[in-house]
Amino acid sequence: MDNKANKTSSIKTVNPTTNEVEKVFDVMTEHQIEEIISAADKAFQFWRKTSFEERAKLLHKVASILRERKEDLGELCTIEMGKLKTEAIGEVALCADIFDYYANNGAKFLADSPLETPHGKAFLSYEPIGVLLSVQPWNFPFYQITRSAAPNIMAGNTFLLKHASNVPQCAAAMEKIFTEAGAPKGVYTNLFVPGSKISNLVADPRVKGAALTGSEPAGSSFAAMAGKYVKKSTLELGGSDAFIVLEDADLDKAVYTAAFGRLWNAGQVCVSPKRVIVMELVAEEFIKKAKAIYEKVVIGDPLDPSTQLAPLSSEKAAEDVIAQVEATVKAGAKLVYGGKRLNRSGAFMEPTILTGIKKGMLAYSDEIFGPVLCIYPVKNEDEAIKLANDTKFGLGGTVFGKDTDKAVKIARQIDTGMVYINHVTGIAPELPFGGTKNSGYGREQSPAGIYEFVNAKLIRITTPDAAY
């Protein structure tokens, strides 16, 4: 898998607010990796036999530690990848809720499920499959781990984390939390390895399943490798979410929701409202109101609670987003506001508004992972639906309008994994998260999240002379 981390001999934190190196970790040796996989495989042999109560006790303890340390862990997120500390604290609190959710509900979700049959009895027994490899990105350093780890450890699998190389302190912190919570050795382990090692990890016969959240190219390579070795995989990849504003929408609420939704995590969210589709009747006013909001946005130190827009995750991330904006404007789009780097240290850029985006322009087809609001005026709802579906991605989306029955009718016609009415695509433990098309496959969170890496084994009770 192509990854610049492949060429590094160390894994390090570079604070995107200052561009200074904060901490450096050594890449693990082949011997260390072998010991970790072996321990995970050994742990599975007994962890699979533990009771739901024992597994739930571990997850509840992890949740408790997360809540106790949410301030410090939130600050760690901010230092490593730049998000607002207020957002980071909320992320840690959400993780605690997800661990508690699976601890509280896992036994119910995984209870034997009876099947109707005219002869004898039959049921599904949900059984863990083994060591799971989870490859996660940097944009939500604790949440990305949690939604993969919580259901699978509750299901009886053991867990190997290969986290993004720019958030090593968060990766190490989560492993430490599991250890403090009483997790036996091998149940949850962090791997400090470059991307070049992922293929070998997937190929290892002791690894039985593989989950990845990341870019479309990384997902394609990852899925091909899992398929080669006949292993179950899940992918959560990019998104280009449509945010459809109907004519009857409360315009002020719609503008505010879209504008600040796009600034969430500095725009580095797969389910951020990346394409705001507005009826022509209200489009001019919508653009005017959005510009007024962005003109007043406070950009600065993400540790300062008054800051509204943090830096991007790295210098390269900022350069890439600026290049995408410039290429789109050069192709004929209109730059309504922003589009520039800030004259200060750190990976900062202005909040940006683009309109006049046509098919063939870079912003039309590519995911922009930064604070760039792309606004598309359309004549009617049919045109809005057509535009919403004219993307290779299908992760989330929003329909904003007072007539919720109509909004739901439109939502049903959008080819995507999730659609929220009058809200940006969100996150909750009990709600499934995942997409379709090039946004990946599989679901995390909700009851669905715990079934991805278990064996739904049929057990049939009958007699030799019974019909099948």
**Annotated active-site residue in 80, 91, 236, 452:** 236
pTM score, whole prediction: 0.96
Question: How many C-beta neighbours within 10 Å does residue 312 have?
Answer: 28
The pLDDT of 48-57, averaged and rounded, is 98
Give the separation between CA 161 and CA 245, rounded to whole angstroms: 39
pLDDT of residue 4: 34
Give the percent of the chain with pLDDT over 90: 96
**Tokens found for residue 231:** 């292993």
How would residue 289 be classed by pLDDT, with cut points 50, 70 and 90?
A: very high
Give the separation between CA 60 and CA 98, rounded to whole angstroms: 10
Question: Computed from CA positions of residues 86, 91, 94, 96, in that sequence, does the dihedral angle turn out positive or negative?
Answer: negative
pLDDT of residue 26: 94
Reply yes or no on whether the pLDDT at 67 is more than 50: yes
- 419-to-178, 248, 395 alpha-carbon distances in Å: 34, 18, 9
Do residues 245 and 286 lie in contact, with contact meaning Cβ atoms separated by under 8 Å?
A: yes
Interior/surface letters 251-273, b for 16+ CB within 10 angstroms, e for the rest? beebbebbbbbbbbbbbbbbbbb
Residue 61: CA count within 13 A, CB half-sphere: 14
**Cβ neighbours of residue 188 under 8 Å, at least 6 residues apart?**
149, 153, 158, 159, 161, 174, 175, 178
Residue 347: CA count within 13 A, CB half-sphere: 27
pLDDT of residue 9: 58
The string of pLDDT tens digits covering residues 311-338 is: 999 999 999 999 999 999 999 999 999 9
Number of residues that make up the chain: 468
Question: How many C-beta neighbours within 10 Å does residue 142 have?
Answer: 28
**Annotated active-site residue in 77, 270, 374, 444:** 270
pLDDT of residue 466: 80
**Cβ neighbours of residue 344 under 8 Å, at least 6 residues apart?**
none
Do residues 190 and 161 lie in contact, with contact meaning Cβ atoms separated by under 8 Å?
A: yes
How would residue 465 be classed by pLDDT, with cut points 50, 70 and 90?
A: confident
Give the percent of the chain with pLDDT over 70: 98
Q: Residue type for 203, please?
A: A
Looking at 5-19, 91-105, 289-303, which range is the least confident one?
A: 5-19
Reply yes or no on whether the pLDDT at 306 is more than 70: yes
The string of pLDDT tens digits covering residues 125-169 is: 999 999 999 999 999 999 999 999 999 999 999 999 999 999 999
Between helix 143-155 and helix 85-109 the angle, nearest 10°, is 20
Compute CA 23 distance to the chain's CA centroid, rounded to the nearest angstrom: 25
Residue 77 catalytic?
no
The string of pLDDT tens digits covering residues 172-211 is: 999 999 999 999 999 999 999 999 999 999 999 999 999 9
pLDDT of residue 302: 97
Residue 374 catalytic?
no
Give the separation between CA 135 and CA 144, rounded to whole angstroms: 9
Do residues 356 and 333 lie in contact, with contact meaning Cβ atoms separated by under 8 Å?
A: yes
Reply yes or no on whether the pLDDT at 1 is more than 50: no
The pLDDT of 237-254, averaged and rounded, is 96
How many Å is the Cα radius of gyration of the chain? Answer: 23
Q: Identify the CA nearest to 139 among candidates 270, 302, 310.
A: 270
Do residues 245 and 283 lie in contact, with contact meaning Cβ atoms separated by under 8 Å?
A: no
Give the separation between CA 360 and CA 357, rounded to whole angstroms: 9
**Average model confidence (pLDDT) for the chain?**
96
Reply yes or no on whether the pLDDT at 355 is more than 50: yes
The pLDDT of 351-362, averaged and rounded, is 97
Reply yes or no on whether the pLDDT at 5 is more than 80: no
Give the separation between CA 264 and CA 244, rounded to whole angstroms: 18
